[in-house]
Structures are given as structure tokens and as C-alpha cells.
Copies of this chain bind each other. A is one copy, B any other.
Amino acid sequence: MNTRVSIQDVAQLAGVAVSTVSRVLNGYRDVSEETRAKVQRAVEQLGYRPNQAARTFRTGKTQSVSVILPMIGTDFYNRLINGIDQVLALHDYDAGLFPLLSPRRLERYRNPSAPPYNADGLILASLNPDRLFEGGQIPADLPTVLVDIAHTAYDSVTVDHIEGGYLAGKHLLERPAPTFVVMIEERFDTPFASGVFRERLKGFQRALEEDSVKLPKDHVITVEFSWDGGRLAAQEILRRLEGPANIFATCDLLAQGLIDEFAHKGIKVGGEVRLVGYDDQPWAEAYGLSTVKQPIESMGGLAANLLLKRIKRPPAEVIHRVLSPRLVVRESSRV
């Protein structure tokens, strides 16, 4: 009963031309207050709502951008989406979310007519086009920005994980002690493998090198991305040493496992055993976990801004923006 009401009906009731109604609806300023009021009254009276399809058809703009990402519901992606949403809202844009939940979905997104490409622009989060699509070619040709991953052919916004690792390293070095890194094994065969953990390790090593501190190969403990992985790492470390230690967990989830397992063995983290995580998960503060915090919202916001710009007028060159993380010091790394 609503779709039947068109701009024509509004014009008629308001006693003006359709173009005038259109102008009011789109917030043009060259309309007298009087007509504007008349039109708005008619709109409300009829319960008129613009036909979005007609608008899109006419303008060729959907006022929406698609975000393809591995999943939704983690702290990282929630924050990222919030950052994107916030900027888009300022420009009357919306974000359509397309998580790669199943292989079937990925398959469908290979089709250039798939819903994600039915938008004015595309944000690819944590996803490498080279791994996702044949030839690294995104099926549809529309303005694209990558987030959390870099690529020569596309605009990107990333966080400098090398710097993040470096910050953790410098901080732990304040009190020398046997040092361990707990790593995640990144498989190469998934579309999600972005190499961030290796970068974090690299930065950490760089910090140590600057101070001529050696990190023995077997002090890099590789486990699964899980709480249990952290616990296993803690056991491994305890097997190898007693007394002070510096530990860098390449993500907070691992750090949590470490803390819990240490607590279990009656060891409180912070003091003798110092620990720095990565991500600043929501619970990190309550855990007293020192950690590297990424500017995730900013990353999303920047990506959205870049994309909107590219939608307006495709710029000449590819743009890469790299953001700096910062270290949040809490109990777990106090001396």
C-alpha cells in the first residue's frame, strides 16, 4: 500500500511539478520555504517513500558499498565495520556485508553479477584478491579498497605490524630476560592468510637486534590460533626455564591462554614473567594484559573515505595508507 504512491501523487496533492518534489526530496536549496512545506506535508500525508530501485536506476548509484570479509562477529571486524559505517553515514552511504562463510558463497562471489558487485564500491577486508580470484582480478570492475592487507594494484589501508612487534620488543627489553615469542602457524592455502603474524615477529626481532639480543630459534613457539594454543605454549616455556622471562604473544587470545595456564601453575604474570599480547581484545584490560592496539576504527574510516573519493572521481594512482599501532602497558608487563 506504500509502493503504489509515487512522486506523481505527491506532486499532484501538493499542487507542484514532480521536479519540484524531487528537488525537495533531495535537499536542493533553491526551493522556497513555502513550497518545501507544502511538499513535505503531502509526503507525510500520503506516507510516500521514494522508490529506491527507480532512483538507483536513474542515477546509476546505489548509495551503498559492499564489504567482503572473512567473517563477522569478532572484535576486529566489529570495530572495522563500525569505523566504515560511521564514515559512510556521513555521506549517506550504506555498507552491505558479505562474509565468506562458506565455499559456496565464495564461489558465488566469483560471478560478476553477484550481489556484492551491485554497489558503488567495494571494500575487501583481510582478503587477498590474488588468492580469492583468478589472476587477482576482482570479477566486477568497480572502485575497490583493500583493508588489513596490501596489494600493488589496489588502494589499501593497513596497520604496520612490524612496528607493532617492534614496540612490544622495545618494551620488553627494558628488563632483559630470556625471551620467547608465541607464534601462529599461518597456512598458505587459505584466502585469509595475510602474513600479519610473521610481520609481528619480524618487528619484534628487529627490536632485539637493535640491542644485539639474540632470539634463539627454539624460543619461537608455534601453536594454533586458540586459547589452548596459549596454554600449550605456557607449558612449553615452563618446561624450559624457571625464573624471569619476557614473552611476546602475537595475539591476545594466545596471551590469555598463557595467563590462564601460568595462573594455574601458581605464577602470576607481571613481575618475573612479563607478557605482551597483540590486539587489545575487549577483555584485555580486565586481564591486565599489556598489548599492542591497532587503530581498527580509523582503518575502516580511512578505507571508507578513500573509497568514496574513488567513487566520486577515480584518481590516477594507487594509494597506500599505513597506520601505526600503539602499545598499551598494563600489569602483565610491569617489572
Nearest first, the 9 A-B pairs at minimum CB distance are A73-B73, A57-B57, A72-B72, A71-B73, A53-B57, A53-B56, A94-B115, A54-B57, A52-B118
Minimal beta-carbon separation of A247 from chain B (angstroms) = 23
A72 to B53, CA, bound (A): 27
Q: Contact partner of A73 among B64, B72, B105, CB < 8 A?
A: B72
For A62, the chain B residues whose CB sits under 8 A away are 53
The answer to whether A212 has its CB under 8 Å from any CB of chain B is no
A98 to B115, CA, bound (A): 14
The answer to whether A113 has its CB under 8 Å from any CB of chain B is yes
The answer to whether A216 has its CB under 8 Å from any CB of chain B is no
CB neighbors of B among A1-28 (8 A): 1-3
For A141, the chain B residues whose CB sits under 8 A away are 1-2
Given the contacts A52-B118, A53-B57, A56-B56, A97 and B94 also touching, CB distance less than 8 Å: no
For A51, the chain B residues whose CB sits under 8 A away are 57
Copies of this chain: 2
CB neighbors of B among A155-211 (8 A): none
Minimal beta-carbon separation of A103 from chain B (angstroms) = 10
Sample 25 A-B pairs with CB under 8 A, ordered by A number.
A49-B112, A49-B113, A52-B118, A53-B53, A53-B56, A53-B57, A53-B60, A54-B57, A56-B56, A56-B57, A57-B57, A72-B72, A73-B73, A73-B101, A78-B101, A78-B102, A82-B101, A82-B102, A89-B104, A94-B114, A94-B115, A96-B96, A96-B115, A97-B97, A97-B99
The answer to whether A269 has its CB under 8 Å from any CB of chain B is no
CB neighbors of B among A75-114 (8 A): 78, 81-82, 85-86, 89, 94, 96-99, 101-102, 104-105, 108, 112-114
A49 to B73, CA, bound (A): 34
Q: For A52, give the chain B residue with the smallest CB separation.
A: B118
A89 to B102, CA, bound (A): 14
The answer to whether A74 has its CB under 8 Å from any CB of chain B is yes
Q: Contact partner of A98 among B49, B56, B97, CB < 8 A?
A: B97
The answer to whether A50 has its CB under 8 Å from any CB of chain B is yes
For A113, the chain B residues whose CB sits under 8 A away are 49-50, 52
For A101, the chain B residues whose CB sits under 8 A away are 72-73, 78, 81-82
A89 to B105, CA, bound (A): 11
Q: 1/0 contact trace for A132-162 toward B, CB 8 Å?
A: 0000000011000000000000000000000
